[in-house]
Structure 1
Amino acid sequence: MRKAASNEDSGAGEEKAKVQGSQTLLRGLDMLDHVIDGPIKLAELSGRMGLTRSTAHRLANALIDRGFLTFLPREGYQLGPKLLHLGFLAQSQADVVQIARPHIDELAQRSEDTVHLGRLDNELALYLDKIPGRRRVDISSRVGDRQPLTSTGLGKALLIDGTESAWRRLFDADQASGAPKADYAVWLARMQDYAAEGRAYDLEENQDQIRCVAAPIRDASGRIVAAISVSSAAQYMDDARMETLGEDVRGTAERISSDLGWSPRTKPPRR
């Protein structure tokens, strides 16, 4: 009987240790979240987390030992070099096509229209993936196609963070190389609106009777690394639907960006 009781006590002790270990891990992850915005002092950190100063100090020291945090005298705790290393590894392993596929599949099902995924390639928009829509609409694009940046919705989404001087240079280059003719003043006014709204349109500029809505995809640094678009016949894409669809396309792009490590708090890099 004593042996059985001892086994029961041992099992209960192991289970309690597992629970405590899980709680410590979650607290450590929570602490990293609280340090994201920059150096934070122990008193504020413990207050935000609802921990005693001694518990917060002990947990922070454990994270410092592992390289997940560093301590700056008179400033407080901030993210450590281990996270930079892990971030670079995660980014190098991220395949935007694979990560985006379930999201754009869902977008295609909701919209019933053709969805594209693409990225910048030598000042052209390179199509990386395409999901055909359910409507009988012929979208003349293939994976591997390269299209002008300034006349496609996907291309404009890739340019949203650019400067006006860069926009002008690319616009002039596309016009010189045979892109559909356009008025720069009109195009610029639209691009300024797209940059403010975080999404872009193609208003039958690249293919007659075809409209599309696009939005950029960002990586952990906030840099635009790809874009998605929804394309359909103009009869299915009146102004009201494009505005509504813009919210869905932008939301989908943000979810893909989040899977790549982006956060809404991340500011785009300056150009």
Structure 2
Amino acid sequence: MAGNTSSPGATVVSRAMAVLGAFDERHRRLGLSELARRADLPLATTHRIVGELVAHGALARAGTGEYVVGRRIWSLGLLAPVQTGVREVASPFLNDLYAATLATVHLAVREGDQVLYLDRISGQRSVPVVSTVGSRLPLHSTGVGKVLLAHAPDTVQADVLARLHRITPYTITQPARLREQLQRVLADDYATTVEEMTLGACSVAVPVRRADREVVAALGIVVPSLKRDRSRLVAALQVAAHGIGRSLTGPSGRG
């Protein structure tokens, strides 16, 4: 919720941003009334702003009459440095990983206390997952999230550990147990999950580092089980992550 945007002093830009901010991972389609409520704006004001956003391609109207984020917002999002840098460099490595495993491959970064998925490659033989490019998921229940959480500042870790919630019967919600796992991630340099985000899906992920050893992203693979292929998958991920990190600081000047 935007909050306070219905006040007389709110600018046109702030109101438009409130409307756009009403959309999130769980609210991809919104009717006009719900948009007004979530943006904390009068219905008439919302109607006018939505009309202008649709005209400029920032929003689009679905066949159901609900509104969705338009292609123009997506196109602009691709210009963000985190997209054009890490995502562009990582793309060939993700394709190589997918070709070798036929499993869902993820590239993600931390945004606040959530995982932001920059890229995903999957196919018909891949395990179904809930992530999509541009989506945000909890740090504590995903492989890439655990990697990023393990390398996050203490304040971020404390905040996440204080608000653990269950997604599947296997999601870890005990702070002490998760903290132990995060310590293991730092020691082993990879993280795993076992049906903690989606039933029937296990994941393994590794950090992506620049030359200065700063962790800038996480690279992960989702498979039905890790019982047999964990070592092979970790090795493949680490080779790809090293290649991405080296490319980020190479002659191209990216990063």
Q: Same fold (TM over 0.5)?
A: yes
Match of 2:98 among 80, 98, 108: 108
Q: Does 1:128 align with 2:118?
A: yes
Q: Which letter maps to 1:113?
A: A
Instruction: Evaluate the alpha carbon distance shift between residue 155 and residue 208 of structure 1 in structure 2; reply closer, same or farther with a 3 A threshold.
Output: same
Q: Which letter maps to 2:173?
A: A
Backbone CA RMSD of aligned residues: 2.8
Aligned to 2:187: 196
8 Å CA contact 1:160–1:198 kept in 2: the answer is: no
Aligned to 1:4: none
Aligned to 1:82: none
Residues 220-244 of structure 1, C-alpha deviation per residue, up to 9 Å, x if partnerless?
Answer: 43221111110122xxx23231232
Q: Which letter maps to 2:243?
A: R
Aligned to 1:73: none
8 Å CA contact 1:148–1:174 kept in 2: the answer is: no
Gaps of 5+ in 1: 1-90, 263-271
8 Å CA contact 2:203–2:223 kept in 1: the answer is: yes
Q: Percent identity?
A: 28
Q: Which letter maps to 1:258?
A: R
Q: Residues of 2 paired with 1:197 and 1:155: CA distance?
A: 15
Residues 57-111 of structure 1, C-alpha deviation per residue, up to 9 Å, x if partnerless?
Answer: xxxxxxxxxxxxxxxxxxxxxxxxxxxxxxxxxx999611110000010001111
Rg larger in 1 or in 2? 1
User: How many equivalent residue pairs?
Assistant: 169
Residues 128-166 of structure 1, C-alpha deviation per residue, up to 9 Å, x if partnerless?
Answer: 111004515312221111001111101111123246665
Structure number with the higher helix fraction is 1
Q: Residues of 1 paired with 2:83 and 2:172: CA distance?
A: 40
Aligned to 2:237: 249
Aligned to 1:154: 144
Q: Residues of 2 paired with 1:147 and 1:92: CA distance?
A: 17
Give the 3-state SS of the residue equivalent to 2:228 in structure 1: helix
Aligned to 2:247: 259
TM-score (norm 2): 0.59
Instruction: Evaluate the alpha carbon distance shift between residue 204 and residue 219 of structure 1 in structure 2; reply closer, same or farther with a 3 A threshold.
Output: same
Q: Which letter maps to 1:102?
A: P
TM-score (norm 1): 0.56
Give the 3-state SS of the residue equivalent to 1:239 in structure 2: coil
Aligned to 1:209: 200
8 Å CA contact 2:143–2:220 kept in 1: the answer is: yes
Gaps of 5+ in 2: 1-80, 251-255
Instruction: Evaluate the alpha carbon distance shift between residue 126 and residue 166 of structure 1 in structure 2; reply closer, same or farther with a 3 A threshold.
Output: closer
Instruction: Evaluate the alpha carbon distance shift between residue 93 and residue 185 of structure 1 in structure 2; reply closer, same or farther with a 3 A threshold.
Output: closer
